[in-house]
Amino acid sequence: MHPRAIEKLQVMVDQRQSGVDAATATKQSAFLRVSTQLPAEKARAEAEREQAQVDLDKTFVRAGVDGRVEQFLVRPGDLVAQIMRPAGILIPEEAGRNRLQAGSKPWRIIPLVITSVQDFIAAGQVRAGELLIDPQNLQTPGSILVFLEPLYDGGLEGVTRGSSCIVNAYTDNHDVIADPKTGALKGFALHAVDATGLVHALLLRIQALLLPIKTLVLSGH
């Protein structure tokens, strides 16, 4: 065969081999895209969809019970927050129909002991707001907050969480008065203090007895 014909055939073989190599490279690229890039894009798209669903769910307000919303006074542009600025008041459908709420421990005196005293009062707190602080609006005196625990085990059994009560705190100086080192004048003063506490405790029990009568009879409820 003529050398020139052989060269032409060799050029044709090289061209076709180049086409085969290009097709193989395209195949490998497509395989990598199917096995790596497309799953990554799918996972990213699913994550974006889940995030969009989360953002959408945040725009809905759901209640745990059926009922109706009253005092819904929201206007366009108003800020609504679940804690500080609710949009309205939810009244359950069965509120006051099947069950009523009442005190769980009427006429009950629960002995408690003061375990600690808060060393600051609420009158000293300052909260940043839209208006300047006016001293004349801070005339209400603060109160001392104490923490009490039951004197005996099980003293708070049956008391519903969040209940309120009337507390009367008084001292017990019996051991100090009985101490021979305590002077007569100091002992007399401590006797007077304990007597005052005893009177307060008696008044507290009288208040506990009269509270249902005052609430249910005299107030008309």
Nearest to 172 by CA among 203, 143, 196, 155: 196
**CB of 58 within 8 A of CB of 44?**
no
Query: CA 98 → CA 13, 20, 90, 112, distances in Å?
Result: 94, 83, 18, 35
pLDDT tens per residue across span 166-199: 777 777 777 788 888 888 888 888 878 777 777 7
> In angstroms, rounded to a whole number, what is the distance separating the alpha carbons of residues 193 and 34?
88
Q: CA torsion angle for 57, 61, 67, 71 (degrees, to 10)?
A: -160
pLDDT over threshold 90, residue 161: no
Residue 130 is predicted with a pLDDT of 65
Residue with tokens 């300052």: 126
pLDDT tens per residue across span 48-67: 999 999 998 888 777 788 88
